[in-house]
């Protein structure tokens, strides 16, 4: 599952620089997470870093983007291979 930022986001700017996959960006009103880039930090950290730093707890798992740990790890491998190439 990738993560999603809810409308409780206060645009505090702490999540974006914490994302090792560059999956977080400023949307029209609040920050957004690209589900094609979000691995919940699998491959980088033990826990999602954006969730760790969010002061308002507005980053839950996205029920519309269900992925197993193995699928998240495969996505991590694709993203890091593309970044290295």
Inter-residue contact 38 to 3 (CB < 8 Å): yes
Could you give all domains of the chain from N- to C-terminal order, each with its CATH number? 16-84 (3.30.70.20)
Provide the 3-class DSSP secondary structure of residue 34.
coil
pLDDT at 1: 76
Which pLDDT tens digit goes with each residue over 28-79? 999 999 999 999 999 999 999 999 999 999 999 999 999 999 999 999 999 9
pLDDT at 39: 97
Contacts of 58 (CB under 8 A, 6+ apart): 5, 6, 7, 8, 9, 10
**DSSP E strands, 3-46:** 24-26, 31-33
Report the predicted TM-score, pTM, of the whole model to 2 decimal places: 0.92
Which pLDDT tens digit goes with each residue over 9-26? 999 999 999 999 999 999
Inter-residue contact 50 to 40 (CB < 8 Å): no
């Amino acid at each position: 599952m990738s993560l999603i930022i809810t409308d409780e986001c206060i645009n505090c700017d702490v999540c974006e620089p914490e994302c090792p996959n560059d999956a977080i960006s400023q949307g029209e009103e609040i920050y957004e997470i690209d589900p094609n880039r979000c691995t919940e930090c699998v491959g980088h950290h033990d826990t999602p870093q954006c969730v760790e730093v969010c002061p308002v707890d507005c980053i839950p798992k996205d029920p519309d983007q269900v992925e197993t740990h193995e699928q998240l790890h495969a996505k991590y491998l694709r993203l890091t291979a593309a970044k290295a190439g």
